[in-house]
Structure 1
Amino acid sequence: MSEDDLLENYRRAYDNKVGFGQRPALVMIDFCQGYFDPDCDLYADVDNALTSALRVREAAHAAKIPVILTNVSYHPSAIDGGRFFEKAAPLRYFIEGNPMAAFAKGLEPREEELVITKQYPSAFFGTSLASTLTASGVDSVLLTGLTTSGCVRASCVDAMSHGFRTAVIAEACGDRHEAPHQANLFDMNAKYADVVSEEETIGFLQRLNDQDIARNI
């Protein structure tokens, strides 16, 4: 099957959009220092993803929607890492106290932001994220983060599985290589979420902000 035929096959089967929800939350997944340090095994060329995510973060705060940051942290013994820690050697950088696990520069948590600490790929697995969003009346999530093929994808599948309309912001996600980045964006867009642009997302958040202003006039 040629590439054009393959794309047409996907369009016939999966060319559907669910759209943004009415009460979104922004989730910023694992933007840790290790991805930005060339001496670290985690290093990836993802500066542009962080820059994009920070712009979305500002728009999210202007729109007064919840902003959630995730990080990864393990007990010094790594007993809480299970098979994930056993398999993925770079997770050793997330043992409690390692500077590579700190939030990337520019993404220091703000007082009004919620930090969710996790041990596994998904921001939802083994955490309070789903119940917190549901209790807050959130119906949809905007996902940014690292890496596209790992924790972003896992969080995307779980977000959809928990009933949230899910949008993945393409420019605000990054990976170690362009091929897995694009392949996973393609697959998430086909099956689990709408993959959207930064521009589209910020436009949506600005409309939410305008509506909020109009209600208060």
Structure 2
Amino acid sequence: MMVDDLAANYAGVYGTRIGFGTRPALLMIDFCQGYFDPTCDLYSGVEDALASALRVRVAARAAGVPVILTNVVYHPTAIDGGRFFEKAAPLRHFLAGNPMGAWPEGLLPEADELVISKQYPSAFFGTSLASTLTALGVDSVLLTGLTTSGCIRASCVDAMSHGFRTAVISDACGDRHVAPHDANLFDMNAKYADVVREADAVAFLETLRR
């Protein structure tokens, strides 16, 4: 029987909470300048998401949790862009050397933080991320970044598929419109990850310092 109310429709079917792992890593996905520059068609008004992610990063570093950043970088000819580059026109801003692909103000990788450059939505697809996390003994990931409906969702599904407990920090993710943001958070929480608030993630990270 179809139930019109969304929460009631899913209640008791999806949405099982799996909790945080014991050896997490923090992923900061695609916080690139284009999303913060009003002159760029990637601009999404996601300053609050970056501010939240930076606060989580402080807590993660204090707890000794690995921090891994991703960005999107294409060969100047876009030969490595494939169908994603063909389909999503704003990816032209991520050709190597374009200032829109730089880190935004307030975010620079620390010397002990790994940067993984990718060409497709998932942080795992075609990269060494899964192998790196496994070698580090990581059992779970905390996801922050841009955009919720794109690279966060793709990375979330792949993180779960690789066997990592996955938490998506809602405050620390952003999208160009609230509708896809909310819809994808709902769906990820239903099937692939626990969607949590910044305060919950920080509180968890603080327990790892004890």
Match of 1:187 in 2: 187
Match of 1:26 in 2: 26
1:160-202 alpha-carbon deviations (Å, 9 max, x no partner): 0000000000000000000000000000000000000000000
Q: Does 1:172 align with 2:172?
A: yes
Q: Distance in 1 between matches of 2:42 and 2:186?
A: 23
Q: Does 1:110 align with 2:107?
A: no
Match of 2:69 in 1: 69
1:15 deviates by 2.8
Q: Distance in 2 between matches of 1:15 and 1:146?
A: 23
> Which AA in structure 1 matches 2:80?
D
Q: Does 1:120 align with 2:120?
A: yes
Q: Distance in 1 between matches of 2:58 and 2:7?
A: 35
TM-score with structure 2 setting the length: 0.98
Q: Distance in 2 between matches of 1:39 and 1:81?
A: 23
> Which AA in structure 2 matches 1:44?
S
Report the 3-state secondary structure (helix = DSSP H, G, I; strand = E; otherwise coil) of the residue aligned with 2:126: coil
> For structure 1, which runs of at least 5 residues remain unmatched after alignment?
211-217
Match of 1:14 in 2: 14
Q: Provide the identity percentage.
A: 75
> Which AA in structure 2 matches 1:10?
Y
Match of 1:158 in 2: 158
Q: Does the 8 A contact of 2:81 with 2:119 survive in 1?
A: yes
> Which AA in structure 2 matches 1:54?
L
Match of 2:47 in 1: 47
Q: Distance in 2 between matches of 1:27 and 1:163?
A: 16
1:8 deviates by 1.2
TM-score with structure 1 setting the length: 0.95
Q: Distance in 1 between matches of 2:114 and 2:107?
A: 13
Q: Distance in 1 between matches of 2:106 and 2:127?
A: 25
Q: Distance in 1 between matches of 2:32 and 2:3?
A: 39
Q: Does the 8 A contact of 2:139 with 2:164 survive in 1?
A: yes
Match of 1:98 in 2: 98
